[in-house]
Amino acid sequence: MPGPGFEWIGEEEEKEVLDVLRSRWLFRYGDEKDPAFKRKVKTLEEMVEKRFGTGHALAVTSGTSALITALSALGIGPGDEVIVPGYTFIASISSIIIARAVPVLAEVDHSLTLDPADIEGRITPRTRAIMAVHMLGNACDMDRLRAIADKHHLILIEDAAQAFGGSYRGTWLGTMGRMGIYSFNIFKTINAGDGGMVVTDDDELYFRAFGYHDQGHFPSRSGVEVGNRSIIGQNFRMNEITGAVLIAQFRRLDDIITRLREIKSRFKSQIQGAPGLEFRTLNDPEGECNTLLTVLLPTKEAAERLAAKLRTTTVAKSGWHVYANMEHLLGKKMITEHGCPYNCACYPCQQEYRKGMLPRTDDLLARAINISIGVVDRGLGSAFGVHPRSTNQEIDQTVKQFAEALRESL
């Protein structure tokens, strides 16, 4: 079980996909007059717009292409800096580099999301945006991040790749910044193998994002826009089969989150108050996706002992999401030897990345372990945990195993 959506793939997904295959229209654009053309991608976008109350949703090929599209639509590029947490997936950082802007890494706080207290000291005249990453299915402290962004006239972007279906004080994650993005890869709340989405309330940004995701075409690639193409862009189009799977998965969102919530609260309530154990701070417990339960131990050594007993790793030692483990970032390993943003004629960039540059983040991640509730991802350090289809007896057995390992580790 990589992510929760995986576990729920069933007959509805099959039916949706067959619908597309039988129609033979696999491209996101088709003959609107042909009843066989099912408009799955467009339907998915409309479903998200309606449910999340966002002005525009644009389906793309991945969370990474969603980030690149959003940054490009916002005009973030050479000479700009974007503040991003040091605990996130590489794509939050690499998309900024691909846009030829400079990622400025900042600390996370006890919620393991961007620490609002660490942002203002990193703002320079070049700072254009703050990227709020809702890590592990939980919201950043959006009120404080928004206040800082407003005070300094910065753009707030939400990377909600790991938090599709999560909310903050009643508002869907991804819909509070100028632009937000989601991922539908195999580890996410709902999944189609790969896939992504950009959301925004801003018509002009949607126009730019749409054009960027499809070689400057708008509103659809029907030929009418030839002579009027808006922008040099990419091909980040979602296809109809992906759209079909996601329609079925999206209908299951509430069931998925409800089930994960049941499991998580059963697990959490039984270990609550155990000596030496802390849970990470949740900025909005009501709105979490419940995919993981993150625990913190008093010391790095105790956390490593516990992780070994559970056959998992501390978050600090989990490969992908920790800046200090991103050798390609630390070494600024670019695809070409010279070029933006690090050897850029328009910006004498001094930015360096090195292990130990974020001591608070390092300390928190060294003491943290992710218990899987609905996502097994070694890159997140969540190889130990509970399966969503587990019986209560099986959940309690896993809790017991955890509690014993904890006692022996302290």
Ligand X SMILES: Cc1ncc(COP(=O)(O)O)c(C=O)c1O
Question: Which residues would be at the binding site for ligand X (CB under 6 A)?
Answer: 62-64, 88-89, 91-92, 133, 159, 161-162, 183, 185, 194, 196
Provide the β-strand partners of residue 190. none
Q: Shortest approach of ligand X to residue 260 CB, angstroms?
A: 17
Question: Which residues have CB under 8 Å from 150's CB, separation 6+?
Answer: none
Going by C-alpha positions, the residue among 320, 274, 402, 328 that lies closest to residue 136 is 320
Nearer to ligand X by C-beta: 131 or 349?
A: 131
Nearer to ligand X by C-beta: 92 or 249?
A: 92
Q: Shortest approach of ligand X to residue 65 CB, angstroms?
A: 7
Q: Shortest approach of ligand X to residue 72 CB, angstroms?
A: 15
Q: Shortest approach of ligand X to residue 406 CB, angstroms?
A: 27
Residue holding tokens 């292990």? 355
Q: At 59, is the secondary structure helix, strand, or coil?
A: strand
Q: Shortest approach of ligand X to residue 249 CB, angstroms?
A: 14
DSSP tag of 178 = S
For residue 64, give the amino acid letter. Answer: T
Q: Shortest approach of ligand X to residue 261 CB, angstroms?
A: 21
The tokens describing 273, both together, are: 């108050």
For 152-185, where are the alpha helices, taking DSSP H only?
none
| DSSP string for residues in 132-151 | EE-GGG----HHHHHHHHHH
8 Å CB contact between 144 and 151: no
Nearer to ligand X by C-beta: 159 or 288?
A: 159
Q: For residue 47, with 0-12 CB atoms within 10 Å meaning exposed, 13-18 middle and 19 or more buried, which class applies?
A: middle
Determine the straight-line distance between the first and last CA of the chain, rounded to whole angstroms: 30
Nearer to ligand X by C-beta: 54 or 183?
A: 183
DSSP tag of 401 = H
Q: Shortest approach of ligand X to residue 161 CB, angstroms?
A: 3
Q: Which residue's CB comes closest to ligand X?
A: 63
Nearer to ligand X by C-beta: 238 or 349?
A: 238
Q: Shortest approach of ligand X to residue 307 CB, angstroms?
A: 21
Rounded to 5 degrees, φ, ψ at 300 are -60, -40
Q: Shortest approach of ligand X to residue 134 CB, angstroms?
A: 8
Compute CA distances 399 → 275, 305, 374, 382, whole Å.
15, 17, 15, 15
Nearer to ligand X by C-beta: 88 or 409?
A: 88
Nearer to ligand X by C-beta: 183 or 382?
A: 183
Going by C-alpha positions, the residue among 167, 88, 188, 75 that lies closest to residue 131 is 88
Nearer to ligand X by C-beta: 30 or 165?
A: 165
Nearer to ligand X by C-beta: 5 or 196?
A: 196
Q: Looking at 65-139, which runs of residues are DSSP E strands?
A: 81-85, 102-106, 127-133
